[in-house]
Amino acid sequence: MKIIIPIILLILSVAGIAIKILLKKNGEFAGTCSSNNPFLKKEEPCQFCGAKPDEKCKKE
């Protein structure tokens, strides 16, 4: 029983993400650049796309 509950929670989490991708326009997540996070205020460019913190993600 101890293993069943975490497995069910994991399945529900993956299903929730899959449903979000299916229902979201173009199936993309918004805000994928962590360096553009206003709470972090990093000065380094995004490791994913090279955008500076005050720029929009170039991969979006």
Q: What is the pTM of this model?
A: 0.45
Segment 1-59, tens digit of pLDDT: 889 999 999 999 999 988 887 887 666 666 556 545 566 555 667 666 777 767 776 66
Interacting residues of 50 by C-beta distance below 8 A, sequence separation 6+: 58
- Residues 6 or more apart whose CB falls under 8 angstroms from that of 48 comprise 32, 33, 34, 57, 59
